[in-house]
Structure 1
Amino acid sequence: MPVAPINHDYSPVPFHPSGCPTPVGTGLLSSAHVGRIKVDRCIVTTEDVKPSSLNHNTPLAYIGSSLKRALAPKNIVRSCPGFAQSLFPSINLLLNYQWRTDFFSDLSAGLTVGVMNVPQGMAYAMLADLPPVYGLYVSFIAPLLYAVMGRCSQLSLGTFAVVSLLLSQPVGRVCQKVFSEAVQNLTALEDKQIPICFTPEANEYPRGFSKDLFSKERLYDFRPVVIITLTFLVGIIQISFGVLRLGKLTSYLAPAMVDGFITGAGIHVFTSQISSLFGVKAAKNRGGIGSVFKVYYNLARHITSVNPVTVALSLSSILFLLVTKLWMEPFVQRTGHCSYPIPAELILVFAGTILSAIIELDDRYNVTVVGHIVEGMPSFTLPNWDLIPELLVDAVIIGFTSTFLTISLVKMFSLKHRTNINYDHELTCFGLITLSSSFLSGFVPSGSISRSMVLEGANVRTPLNGIATSLLIVFVLLFLGPQLSDTPTCILAAIIVVALLGILKRLREIPRLWRTCKRDFFLYCGTILSTVIFGVIVGLVVGVLSCLIVLTERQGHFDLRLMHNFPGTEIFFCDLPGSEENQPDRVGEIDALFKQIIPCKLTGALNFASAEKLPDKMEKLITLHTTSQRNSDEFETTSYRRNQTPTEQTISENYEMESVEGKKEMDLASGSQKQDVFDYVFTSQNGKIEGHLNSAAKDTSLDQERNNHRPQTIQTHESNERPRYRCGSCCPVGGTRSQGRGEDTTHMQTAQRDSTERLQAPKLFVLMDITGLSQVDPSGAKTLKEVHEELFRRGIFLLFVGDLRFFPCLKTSTWSQCLDLSFSYPTVQDAFVASYKCLYQRNHLRPSPDQTPPRCKVEKLYPMLS
C-alpha cells in the first residue's frame, strides 16, 4: 500500500484504489473521494423508461371488488378474530403480558394518576357548570375503556380544562333557555317536574325563582340532560371521523394555531375561576364578546364584596401547590428518596375538606363549598332527542377540538417512543369511549397533558394502567363521595389555576416566533386575540379558517428556479436563496451552445391560484439567464486573461484539437505530462455522447498535481479517422461510444447536403424539471400550454424532465413539438444532451473532411470523483 505524499500545506494527497494519487484542490469536488464514474448509454426519453399505458381500475370497480371480497362468507368468518383483536388490543396484550416487569410499573403509574384524577375531575366538572361528581364519573369510565381499546400507554384520558370550558357554554345557554320558559309557564306545568339549571340542594336560587313555591321533589337539574345529549353527539361524530379515516385532517392545523387557541382558552379558564377565588358571584364569566374583560370590570365594581376568608384560602392553596410543584417535588426526586410525584392536589383537597368541616366555613364564614355528592356508581342514562338539532353545531366544534387535542398527544408519544399506532383506530376508540360515557352519566373525555406527562415519568409500560386508575375512582365514589361535600370551591379553583401555568407559559413563545417565522407569529397572536375577545368557539373557528387561508396561500405559490451544471459532472443543482454570489468560478470560454440551454426546476403546485404567475416568472427566468451569461462572459474573459502567465497564454493559443483515437498529451512549458481529463465525443447521427476518463500517469509529481486547477487545453493526435468534435468538460455525462467510420462518412455527406439549405436554428431550450411539482389542475395545465406555445412561436423550445402522465390534466397531444425531440425525459442530463444535439445539428454547418476543425474551447477541467 503506497504512502500518501505530504504537500506543502501538510494535507495528505488521497490515493485512488489503483495506487495513483487523486488530483487535489479542484475547488469544487472534495479530494476525499477516490472512485470513478463512467457513463456509456444512449439518450433516454420518458416513454423508454416507463410503459406508455397505465392500467388503473375505476373507483366504482375498485369499491365493488373490495365489497365483494369483504362480504364473502368465508372472508367474514376468517376476519372475525382479527377484527376483535384490532378493536380490543388488550386481548393480545394480556396474552403476552410480562407480569414480572410490567405489572408493578402499570399499577404504580395508574394509582398515581388516579390520585390526580380525584381533585381535577371535581374541579373540571365545576368548570363545565356541572356537579363535581360527574367529573368522577368521567375519570372512572374513560381510563377503564381506554385500557381495553387503546394503544398509547402514556395517554391519560379523562377531564381536561379546555374541553370543560367548551362544554360550559352550550350547557349554560340551553339550560337558561329551558329554565326561563319554565319560570314563565309555572301554572301550566301543574304537577310536572320543573327543569332548573342549578342543584336543588343549593342554598341560593336564581333571582325570580323562590324555593318556597315548589318542593324539591318537583325540581330536577337539567344540566346533566344537556351534557349527556351533547356527549352522545360528540361520540357519534368521533366514530364517524374514525370510520371515514379522517385522522389525518388534524395534521392540517398549524402548531402555532393550536398553541394560540389553547393559550387563549387557558386565559378564559383562568378568568372563569376569578369568582371562586375571590368569592364574588357578580364576577362570574357569563360568556359573549368581551366576557373576559367584563369579569375583571365586575370584580373591580364589587371589590367591597370580596370574601377575605375565601381569598386567604385561595392564596394559601396556590402557594402550597407552587412550593410543592416547583421546589419540594424536584428536590425529593433529585435526592432519590421518591421517584413519583407528590400528590399535592389530593393532600390539599383532604386538608381543606377536614378544615371546612371542623370550622364550618360554609355557615360561619360564607365560604362556598361543593355541596351534596351522590354516593354510588353512575346510573344508566339516555340522551334527550329533542335537544339534538340545537346542540349539533356545538357537538361538531367540541368533537373536533377534543379529538385534535387527544390525537396530538398520541402522535407526540408515538413518535417519541417509536410505537406504531393507527390514528384512525384511535379516533374510533375515542368515539366509542365518548358514546359510552353518555350512557353512564359522563361528559366528553379528552387527553390531559399534565397527567400524561406524569404517566410517562412513572415509567408506564402498557395501557392497562387505566384499570388501576378506575379502581381508585370506584373506591372514592363508593366510600369517600359524601365526605367530600364540604370541600371549598376556592381550593378546586386554585388547583385549576396552578394547572394552567404550563399553558400560560406558552406566551413566552411570542418573541421566538417573531424572530423565526412571522407567519406563525401572526397566526398565533391572531388566534389568541380572537379567542380572548370573541370567545372560545369563535376563536377556534377563526384559527381553523386562518390555517386554511395559510395553506391556500402556500398552495398559491410555486418556485421556478434556475439550475446550474456542476462542471465536469452530470449533476444539476439550484441556487440557495442569497447564494448566487457564491457560485464556483468558471475559467475560460464556455461553448456557446451551452448558453442556449436553460435548465430550471419547478416546485410547488400549479393551480388556479398560482397559474397566472407562470408567464411572468418564465420571462424573468429567461432574462436572468441571459443577463447572467453576458456578465459571466465579461468577467471570465477578463479574469482568465489576467490570471494567465505569458507562457500559458502562448500554450493555450497554439494547441489545437486532433483526432480521438490517438494518445493525449499536454505539452506545457515545463514539459509533457498526462492528466485525468473527462472527455465527451459527439456523434451527430444517433445523438450519442461518450463520457470517459483518460487514465492519469501514476508517476505524476506532487508539484504537477497541485497545478491541476490551472486551465488546460485538450489535444489529440492525428490519425486516419474522420474528425469528430468533442466539447469541454462542462457538458454533462451521457451517451454511448461513437460509431465507426462508415457512419461518420454518412454524417459528412448529410452535412454537405444540408450546407446549402440550413435548418432553422432554435434560439433557446428551456428544460423544466417537474419532479418537484405536486399538483396541476385544469387552470394550471391551460396556462402551461399557453406558455409553451408562446415560447415555441419565439423559437424557444420547452422540454420537461419528469413524467407528464402523473398529471392527467396535461394533454400534450395537441401541443407544438420539435420533431427531433421528445416532450419529456427522465433526467436533466438526458434532456440537456438531447437539446445540445439538436442545437449542434441546426446551428452549425458540417465541415468537410479537408476543413480544419474548430479550435477547442478553453475550460477548467475537473476529474470525475465519486
Structure 2
Amino acid sequence: MGNADYVHPSTNVEPSHRVAVAVPPRQPFFKSLKASVKETFFPDDPLRQFKNQPRSRKLVLGLQYFLPIFEWGPRYSLEFFKADLIAGITIASLAIPQGISYAKLANLPPILGLYSSFVPPLVYAMMGSSRDLAVGTVAVASLLTASMLGNEVNANENPTLYLHLAFTATFFAGVFQASLGILRLGFIVDFLSHATIVGFMAGAATVVCLQQLKGILGLDHFTHGTDLVSVMRSVFSQTHKWRWESALLGCCFLFYLLLARYFSKKKPNLFWISAMAPLTSVILGSLLVYLTHAEKHGVQVIGQLKKGLNPPSITDLAFGSAYLSTALKTGIVTGVIALAEGIAVGRSFAMFKNYHIDGNKEMIAFGTMNIVGSCTSCYLTTGPFSRSAVNFNAGCKTAVSNIVMAMAVMITLLFLTPLFHYTPLVVLSSIIIAAMLGLIDYNAAIHLWHVDKFDFVVCMGAYMGVVFGSVEIGLVIAVGLSLLRVLLFVARPRTLVLGNIPNSMIYRSVDQYPDTNNVPGVLILEIDAPIYFANSSYLRERISRWIDEEEDKLKPSGETSLQYVILDMGAVGNIDTSGISMLEEVKKITDRRGLKLVLANPGGEVMKKLNKSNLIDMIGQEWIYLTVGEAVAACNFMLHSCKPKSVTAESQTWNDNV
C-alpha cells in the first residue's frame, strides 16, 4: 500500500447518522425452503403466465407451453413457408448423405440414418422452441454409440443384439433428457464447460477422422479401439491390403468437399455450394462406380437399402438383456453430450435472431423425440451444428423446415433408396472427414491459452483423453478438471488487502490499484467468496497471516500500530455454521491482540445467520457497517477520539495532507 498522502474529509467526521445494517425479517422454514427450491429449479418462473387466467385460457397456455407449434402456428404465413421450403430442401440434401454416413460410423445399418432423419424432426417441429435447429444424427454420438456398445457386443458377429442395444440406449437417452427437463435439472449440463466441449469435440473429431481410414484405404478388418495407438497399429499392420483405387477416390472427393466449404466461407451467400456438396459427392460417386464397375476392383459400396418407412421397434428394446447396464450407461453419456451440443447450437442461433429458447423445454423435446425414435427404428438424434448452420443460412423462419426435410427423407425412403446401392463407402468416409475437420477449433484453443491457462489445460485434457484413451476417459478427465477448479475456488478463495483510491470514498485492491493509500491503524480485507466448511479453516489462517504481516510491517516503520481489522463481506453471498465458527475464532484472535473486528457490507443471508448465531451481539451492532467507507470513517473517528500517543502524530500528518 502507498503512504497516507490523502484522506477523504469524511473519514474525520463522527458517523452520527449512519444507517444500521438491517437483518432481513424471519421467514418460516418451509417458506424459505420453497423460495430456495423455486430459485434453483424454476428461475424463469414458467407458471407466471398462468396466474389470474381463466381455466380455458390456462388449458390453451399449457398446450402452447408443451407444444410451441400451437403458439406460432396460427401466425404462420405463405411467406414463411416459402423460406422454410427452400431451407428444408437444402438441409435434406445434407441430411441424406450424412445420415447414411453417421449410421455406418455407429456400426448400424445405413438405412437407420434415413429413419432417424424422418420421425425425430417431426416430433421436434411440434415440441421444440428453436426456429433454426435442424434435427438429425451427429458424428460424436454415433462414435460414442459404436465405442461403448462395441466394447461389449461385436456389431459384425451379433448385429441383431447390437441393433437392439442401440435402440435401448436411445430410449434411455430420451428418458434421461426428458427427465432433466421435467425435473428442471438442466443445470447439470452446465458442468460441461466451454473448454471441455472445445477439447472433447476436437478429440472426437480427430478419432472419427482416424476411424475413416478404414473406408479411405478400403480395409475389410479394422480395430474396434478408438485410441490413436490402436488405429495406427491396425492401419500399418495391413499395408499389404491397402487399395489405391479407394484411396484415390477418397482423396479426390475429400478435396472437392473441402474446396466447396472454402468457397462457401469466402462468400457466405454461396453457402448452398457447401450444403449440396455431400449429396453431389454421393451422386457422382454412385455414377462413377456404376459406370466403371469399380465395386469389382476393391471399391466397397453400401449395397441394397430397404425401401419403406420406419418399421416399429418397440418390441426390439432389450430391457431383459444381460447388457442392459451397458445400454443404460451408453444412453446417459450420449444423452448428455447430445443435450450439450443441441442446446448450445440452438442458443447460438437464437442470439443471432434475438429470441429466447427455453433450455428445459428443449430437453423435453429432445427426450421425447428420442423416446419416439427408439420405438420407430431410429438411434440418437440432436441438433447438429453443421445442419443447423445450413438451415440458418438458407433463411429458415420456423421449425417447419424440419417438416420439409422429413418429407424429403420420406420420399427418399419410399422411392429412391435403390439409387444408393452403388454409393461407395469411401465417399461416405470423405463426407464424415470433411464434416469433422470443422469441429477441430484450434483458434478457440489458442484463445483459451491467452485468456485462461487452466481452461486450456481442461481443453487439452479432454482432447488427449479422447485421442489416446477413449471418449469416456476424455470426458471424465475434462469434467474432473473442471470440478477440481470449482473446488479449489471454493476451498481457497482470495482475500485481498484494500486501500483508498485518492479523492474518493472507494476502496479497492492494492494489487489492482497500486496508487491506493493505506489507512493508518486499519487493515481492510476483502473475502471474495461464500464462506463454507471447505474454506473456513483456510480463511481463518489467512486472516491471521494478514494481521501478522501488517503488524510486522508497521513495527519497524514507526507508523501507527494496528487498531482495527475490517472485513469487506460484499462478495460473501452465503455462510454456513463452519463459517460462523470461523468468524467467532477471528473475533477471539483480534480480541487477544487488542484489535477491533469490524464487518462491512454483509448480505441478507449472512446477516440472518449472524443474527441467529448471536454473533452480531458478540461483534457489536455498532461495528457492522453498510460500506467500507463508513467503517473506515468510524474507525478513524475512534482513533481521533481516543487519541493514543501512537496515533496523535500520525493523525496530525494526515490532517496536514488533507
TM-score normalised by the chain length of structure 2: 0.87
Alignment of 1:243-392 (within 5 A): 243-282=182-221, 284-287=222-225, 291-327=227-263, 329=264, 333=267, 341=274, 343-362=276-295, 364-382=296-314, 383-387=317-321, 388-392=324-328
Q: Which amino acid aligns with 2:173?
A: V
Q: Which amino acid aligns with 1:609?
A: A
1:438 maps to which of 374, 378, 381: 374
| Cα gap change, 1:54 to 1:825, in 2 (>3 Å) | farther
**Relative to total residues, which structure has the larger helix share, 1 or 2?**
2
Aligned to 2:418: 482
| Cα gap change, 1:52 to 1:138, in 2 (>3 Å) | closer
SS at match of 2:599: strand
2: distance between equivalents of 1:119 and 1:39? 79
Paired residues of 1:43 and 1:834 also in contact (CA < 8 A): no
Aligned to 1:621: 546
Asked if residue 813 in structure 1 is aligned to residue 633 in structure 2, the reply is no
| Offset, 1:431 | 0.4
User: What do the CA deviations read for 1:610-631 (whole angstroms, capped 9, x no partner)?
Assistant: 2222233223433554567679
| Cα gap change, 1:574 to 1:520, in 2 (>3 Å) | same
| Offset, 1:551 | 1.2
1:825 maps to which of 615, 625, 645: 625
Paired residues of 1:241 and 1:247 also in contact (CA < 8 A): yes
SS at match of 2:572: strand
User: What do the CA deviations read for 1:791-844 (whole angstroms, capped 9, x no partner)?
Assistant: 12221111111236513654541577466x524222223322333344344446
Alignment of 1:316-715 (within 5 A): 316-327=252-263, 329=264, 333=267, 341=274, 343-362=276-295, 364-382=296-314, 383-387=317-321, 388-504=324-440, 506-507=441-442, 509-577=444-512, 579-580=513-514, 582-583=515-516, 595-626=520-551
SS at match of 2:377: coil
SS at match of 2:520: helix
Paired residues of 1:607 and 1:780 also in contact (CA < 8 A): yes
Q: Which amino acid aligns with 2:600?
A: V
| Offset, 1:454 | 1.6
Aligned to 1:161: 139
SS at match of 1:147: helix
| Offset, 1:548 | 1.1
SS at match of 1:222: helix
1:107 maps to which of 85, 101, 104: 85
Paired residues of 1:109 and 1:458 also in contact (CA < 8 A): yes
| Offset, 1:109 | 1.4
| Cα gap change, 1:389 to 1:613, in 2 (>3 Å) | closer
| Cα gap change, 1:471 to 1:839, in 2 (>3 Å) | same
| Offset, 1:315 | 1.4
User: What do the CA deviations read for 1:694-752 (whole angstroms, capped 9, x no partner)?
Assistant: xxxxxxxxxxxxxxxxxxxxxxxxxxxxxxxxxxxxxxxxxxxxxxxxxxxxxxxxxxx
User: What do the CA deviations read for 1:208-241 (whole angstroms, capped 9, x no partner)?
Assistant: xxxxxxxxxxxxx333322111111111111111
User: What do the CA deviations read for 1:365-395 (whole angstroms, capped 9, x no partner)?
Assistant: 1321111211011012212221334421221
Deviates more, 1:600-609 or 1:231-240: 600-609
User: What do the CA deviations read for 1:835-857 (whole angstroms, capped 9, x no partner)?
Assistant: 33443444469xxxxxxxx9796
User: What do the CA deviations read for 1:230-256 (whole angstroms, capped 9, x no partner)?
Assistant: 111111111111011121222232211
1: distance between equivalents of 2:558 and 2:239? 80
Where in structure 2 are there 5+ consecutive unaligned residues? 8-12, 646-650
| Offset, 1:460 | 2.2
| Cα gap change, 1:628 to 1:111, in 2 (>3 Å) | farther
Alignment of 1:758-773 (within 5 A): 764-773=563-572
| Cα gap change, 1:858 to 1:843, in 2 (>3 Å) | closer
| Cα gap change, 1:255 to 1:571, in 2 (>3 Å) | same
Alignment of 1:56-135 (within 5 A): 57-58=30-31, 79-100=58-79, 102-135=80-113
SS at match of 1:608: coil
Asked if residue 835 in structure 1 is aligned to residue 635 in structure 2, the reply is yes
The structure with higher relative contact order (CA 8 Å, sep 6+) is 2
Aligned to 2:593: 794
**Structure number with larger C-alpha Rg:** 1
Aligned to 2:167: 228
Paired residues of 2:598 and 2:619 also in contact (CA < 8 A): no
2: distance between equivalents of 1:386 and 1:163? 24
Deviates more, 1:428-437 or 1:799-808: 799-808
2: distance between equivalents of 1:546 and 1:525? 11
2:579 maps to which of 780, 785, 793: 780
Paired residues of 1:175 and 1:226 also in contact (CA < 8 A): no
2:150 maps to which of 166, 169, 172: 172
2: distance between equivalents of 1:59 and 1:824? 25
**Relative to total residues, which structure has the larger strand share, 1 or 2?**
1
| Cα gap change, 1:606 to 1:856, in 2 (>3 Å) | closer
| Cα gap change, 1:375 to 1:599, in 2 (>3 Å) | same
Deviates more, 1:382-391 or 1:765-774: 382-391
Paired residues of 2:501 and 2:516 also in contact (CA < 8 A): no
2: distance between equivalents of 1:597 and 1:402? 55
Paired residues of 1:614 and 1:784 also in contact (CA < 8 A): no
Paired residues of 1:800 and 1:823 also in contact (CA < 8 A): yes
SS at match of 2:530: strand
SS at match of 1:443: coil
Aligned to 2:10: none
User: What do the CA deviations read for 1:604-648 (whole angstroms, capped 9, x no partner)?
Assistant: 1322332222233223433554567679988xxxxxxxxxxxxxx
User: What do the CA deviations read for 1:316-364 (whole angstroms, capped 9, x no partner)?
Assistant: 111221222224x457x47x788764511111101111222232222x2
| Cα gap change, 1:337 to 1:815, in 2 (>3 Å) | closer
Report % sequence identity. 24
Paired residues of 2:105 and 2:142 also in contact (CA < 8 A): yes
2: distance between equivalents of 1:110 and 1:446? 17
Aligned to 1:242: 181
Q: Which amino acid aligns with 1:384?
A: A
Paired residues of 1:127 and 1:168 also in contact (CA < 8 A): yes
2: distance between equivalents of 1:510 and 1:232? 34
SS at match of 1:595: coil
User: What do the CA deviations read for 1:21-49 (whole angstroms, capped 9, x no partner)?
Assistant: xxxxxx999xxxxxxxx9997022213xx
User: What do the CA deviations read for 1:765-816 (whole angstroms, capped 9, x no partner)?
Assistant: 2121111113423333222221111112221111111236513654541577
Paired residues of 2:113 and 2:137 also in contact (CA < 8 A): yes
Where in structure 1 are there 5+ consecutive unaligned residues? 1-26, 30-37, 181-195, 198-220, 587-593, 635-760, 846-853, 862-866
User: What do the CA deviations read for 1:64-118 (whole angstroms, capped 9, x no partner)?
Assistant: 999xx9999x987653211110111111211112433x22222211211111001
